[in-house]
Amino acid sequence: MANLIDGQERLDWRNPASYRPLLDLDRSGWAWEFLRRNPDYRKAVQSLPKPTQERWLMPPLSLISAVGISPEWGCPFAAPPDNDALAAPPFWLASVDPSVLPVAVISPHHTEDAFDVMDLGQVVTVFRDRGGTEHVQIGRPPRPIRLHVETGTVLRGPVALHASLAGCAVQSRLRTLRRLLDLQRRGRQCADHDGPDARGARLAFILQVLDGHDAGASQREIGIALFGKDRVREDWNGYSDYLRSRICRAIKAGQALRDRGYRNLLRGLPSRPAAANDNDVP
């Protein structure tokens, strides 16, 4: 069950079970879940003109003329913040998401390495900005293959691509390339991808606490929802103050992830240096 907060549909923060589906998210999905809760991002999206109409070329391929947004957010387009990561994860810039593979179209000819996005047997979405640059998503969430087409277009029949593996993201880019090649040659994606983020349980806890805080709940109310009345009563009246401190740290961690820390999530880095024994901060 979801709640509406500032016009945004959110999970029921009082129910931990409603956050369990998020445990399948990878880094990209978790980063989006925090960014879409950022009030400044929401305002930035609302101030932009509505996206131009989507036109279908031929199922399963679609082309969307996307609305650009400031690169400070790490997204090339203004992704609607009401879309959760399980339904419609956004595109990230290749400079912030190591799993996005930069490619260049080097040949529109029928060569051994050429392929046609129409023949992959997958839902393919091509986002094109006003400058004509294409961002390609192959497959459905939660882990589609994402390509940043630096030059050329993938929409003109079979094309051959030159993939860029340079930089610190070489391992993640290589995994994306392997998945693309496996899909092209065998008709299926291999399992060589980043997979669910190992910090999913902690991130779900932080997100739930953050949602409760943003909904106006007190730390005690959040504690009762997560740990029960009896345990909260003992902690709030005791000397350890463990639960109250844990919730306070989770709020701060969630705010840090929502503001800029989500970019570090994409790279697999901590949002900030974690204190000793601080298991609530990724």
Dihedral, CA of residue 36, residue 39, residue 44 and residue 45, to nearest 10: 40
pTM: 0.84
Q: What is the pLDDT of residue 55?
A: 57
Q: What is the per-residue pLDDT for 59? A: 67
Length of the chain: 282
In a domain, 116, yes or no: yes
Are 82 and 101 contained in the same domain?
yes
What is the share, in percent, of the chain residues with pLDDT greater than 90?
35
Domain membership of residue 143 (yes or no) is yes
Banded pLDDT at 221 (limits 50, 70, 90): very high
Sequence-distant (≥ 6) Cβ neighbours of residue 62 within 8 angstroms: 54, 55, 56, 124, 125, 126
E strands, the chain, in order: 2-5, 8-11, 54-58, 61-65, 101-107, 124-128, 134-138, 145-151, 160-163
Residue 124 lies in a domain: yes
| Residue 225 sits in the same domain as residue 169 | no
The amino acid sitting at 84 is: D
Tokens encoding 207: 């997100």
* DSSP state at residue 53: P
User: Is the same domain home to 82 and 178?
Assistant: yes
Question: How far is the C-alpha of 183 from the C-alpha of 223, rounded, in Å?
Answer: 46
Band of pLDDT at residue 51, cut at 50, 70 and 90:
low
Residue 8 to residue 81: CA distance in whole angstroms: 8
Q: What is the pLDDT of residue 237?
A: 73
Q: What SS3 state is found at 13?
A: coil
| Residue 63 included in any domain | yes
What pLDDT shows up at residue 278?
A: 45
Read off the tokens for 92.
Answer: 């990230």
| Secondary element (H or E) of residue 152 | none
Tokens of 240: 């350890």
| pLDDT at residue 282 greater than cutoff 50 | no
Q: Is residue 172 part of a domain?
A: yes
Q: 85-99, 104-118, 139-153 — which is least confidently predicted?
A: 104-118
Least confident piece of the model among 48-52, 158-162, 172-176: 48-52
The answer as to whether 42 is a domain residue is no
Q: Specify if 32 maps to a domain.
A: no
Residue 274 has a pLDDT of 42
User: Average pLDDT over the chain, rounded to whole?
Assistant: 82
163-200: per-residue pLDDT in tens?
A: 998 776 788 899 899 999 888 887 776 665 556 677 88
For the chain, what is the domain count? 2
Structural domain span for residue 114 = 49-186
- Tens of pLDDT, residue by residue over 198-218, are 788 999 999 999 999 999 999
Does the pLDDT at position 131 exceed 90?
Answer: no
Contacts for 66 with CB less than 8 Å, ≥ 6 apart: 51, 76, 77, 78, 127, 128, 129, 135
In sequence order, what are the beta bridge partners of 115? 159
User: Is 250 a residue whose pLDDT tops 70?
Assistant: yes
Strand partners, 148: 102, 135
Whether residue 100 lies inside any domain: the answer is: yes
Domain's final residue, options 136, 167, 186: 186
Residues 170 and 102 in one domain: yes
